[in-house]
Structure 1
Amino acid sequence: MPDDRRPLLLRTNENELVKTAVCDFLKDVGCLDATRVRLLNCPEDEDYVHANYVSTPTCSRRFICTQAPMEKTCRDFWVMCIQDRVEFIVMLCNFFEKGARKCFPYFPNQGSLQFDDITVTYMGSTMVSVLLVSCLLYKFPDVGIYSTNMKFVARIKTKHLHWVDWPDRGVPPADTAIIQVLNIIKSTQTPIVVHCSAGVGRTGSL
């Protein structure tokens, strides 16, 4: 019986294939073209970031599910947050797990970090159960290069929720952490960024 299924992941541009290979944490976990986040106001072959919009019954872009930032993709990650005015980021992995790097430190725990023309500044944090909730301010040039509706916005505050005890390929301890996460993030009207290491297991579970 012939298999009439078509691949969900479509790549028609050779240059985009190259960037995809470089920027994906896992080479066999790609993004659906129909729902992937595209970096705005840049050449088509440079608009790739490993992230997809995920809908709910009431919102077509409620979540952005993505992989953990890599050293070479940190700026792309923050550009993505800028163009969607992201107010909440949920991190479900740790920087190292079982001795392996799972996430590049894309935000500071004191002072500021610079990613080319984007500055991310730490403004304080508190522990809520197993969640380290940090307040971050990210700033960028007021020149409208990211999207036309962002040109007058030069800084955005975001809350970063780091779930510190959810093991890779495992389940977290049974507690109220998931309820606390949802209660914190439910008020926002902009997409909520969620990531683990590959952006599939823990991210999809949440």
Structure 2
Amino acid sequence: MKALKRNTTLTNKNREGADIPSDENRPRLYLPGRSDTSDYINAVYMDSFKVKRRYIAAQSPLSVTVQDFLTLIFQENCTVVVSFHDLITDKVGVFYPADNQVLVVGDFEVTTDRKVDKRDNWVMRTLSLKYKKDGRVKAVTHIQYTDWPQGSNVPTSPASFIHVIHFVGQLADASSGPIVLHCLDGAKHCGLFCTVSNLLEKMELEQEVSVVNEVRRVQTRRRKAIANIEQFNFCYECVLQQIGSSNTYSNVGVK
């Protein structure tokens, strides 16, 4: 509780209304040579059904926390980042430049490959992240999911959401680090992604799922996740969508 209260006071690093993490499951920023002495970032490790710390659910960066966000991606060896926002319209701190340009943020240089892959429900970019202190460079695939209307509690359809979850999972299979998910408060969009992803994994492996239990499990890390009935019902809709899409799931038990 003391850590939670302390983290709440870091008003320059938390967006108003954001879900404040405790220290128990929060990544510490430790990259050698950092100019900022604080290890705080509004982010938490999230387990998938099969893999511990499969995800990091992060608050979308503020203009003053972009370097922290890039530090997180670099130090955790994250090769996939999923965004649920437009950086301009949602007033998110810019952490990658326009296509084929260079963005310098503190200790980092970020470049964007000129080839941008635009799909029906997301945009995929390849970023190059260079840590200027030692010259190391890491490649990052950035997915911007575009089928979640601004102001809505849920995506446009379960089918498109399931599609992007599967696509991200395929991209990250060879990744040695967690998948970074980020949204304005660190919980609303990220929490729904983690919940549905875990339900789909459990269906595949055990042929039985409990939406209630999975929501509770996700809420132990992100208290504001699945905070309304619309999102709760959407979880069920995704499960039913998956069952209806294949005979493989015809005997799945849903609670």
Q: So what's the TM-score if we normalise by structure 1?
A: 0.79
Show the counterpart of 2:240.
none
Higher helix share: 2
Which structure is larger by alpha-carbon Rg, 1 or 2?
Answer: 2
Deviates more, 1:168-177 or 1:33-42: 168-177
Show the counterpart of 1:10.
4
Contact 2:28–2:40, Cα closer than 8 Å, also in 1 = yes
Distance in 1 separating the partners of 2:192 and 2:124: 20
Q: So what's the TM-score if we normalise by structure 2?
A: 0.65
| Match status 1:134 vs 2:125 | yes
Distance in 2 separating the partners of 1:28 and 1:173: 23
CA distance 1:136–1:197, shift in 2 (3 Å): same
Distance in 2 separating the partners of 1:179 and 1:27: 28
Show the counterpart of 2:230.
none
Show the counterpart of 2:190.
203
Show the counterpart of 1:149.
none
Contact 1:93–1:102, Cα closer than 8 Å, also in 2 = no
Ranked by relative contact order (alpha carbons within 8 Å, sequence separation 6 or more), the top structure is 1
Gaps of 5+ in 1: 1-6, 144-152
Contact 2:78–2:180, Cα closer than 8 Å, also in 1 = yes
Alignment equivalent of 1:184, drawn from 167, 181, 205: 167
Q: Residues 145-184 of structure 1: matches in 2 within 5 Å? A: 154-167=136-149, 168-174=151-157, 176-184=159-167
Show the counterpart of 1:61.
53
Distance in 1 separating the partners of 2:43 and 2:137: 22
Contact 1:113–1:119, Cα closer than 8 Å, also in 2 = yes
Contact 2:108–2:132, Cα closer than 8 Å, also in 1 = yes
Identity in percent: 23
**SS of match in other structure, 2:60:** coil
Contact 1:54–1:61, Cα closer than 8 Å, also in 2 = yes
Show the counterpart of 1:72.
64
How many angstroms does 1:9 deviate by? 5.3
Contact 1:169–1:201, Cα closer than 8 Å, also in 2 = no
Distance in 1 separating the partners of 2:67 and 2:35: 16
Alignment equivalent of 2:92, drawn from 95, 99, 103: 103
Contact 1:21–1:27, Cα closer than 8 Å, also in 2 = no
Distance in 2 separating the partners of 1:83 and 1:105: 19
CA distance 1:50–1:201, shift in 2 (3 Å): same
Distance in 2 separating the partners of 1:134 and 1:108: 11
Contact 1:68–1:102, Cα closer than 8 Å, also in 2 = no
Deviations, residues 127-160 of structure 1 (Å, cap 9, x unaligned): 12110111111111353xxxxxxxxx71111110
**SS of match in other structure, 2:92:** coil
Alignment equivalent of 1:119, drawn from 81, 84, 109: 109
Show the counterpart of 1:90.
82
CA distance 1:66–1:26, shift in 2 (3 Å): same
Deviations, residues 33-85 of structure 1 (Å, cap 9, x unaligned): 10011101569960001100011233221100011111100010000001111
Alignment length, in residue pairs? 184
Letter in 2 for 1:59: V
Higher strand share: 1
Letter in 1 for 2:143: L
How many angstroms does 1:17 deviate by? 6.1
Gaps of 5+ in 2: 194-255
Contact 1:131–1:177, Cα closer than 8 Å, also in 2 = no
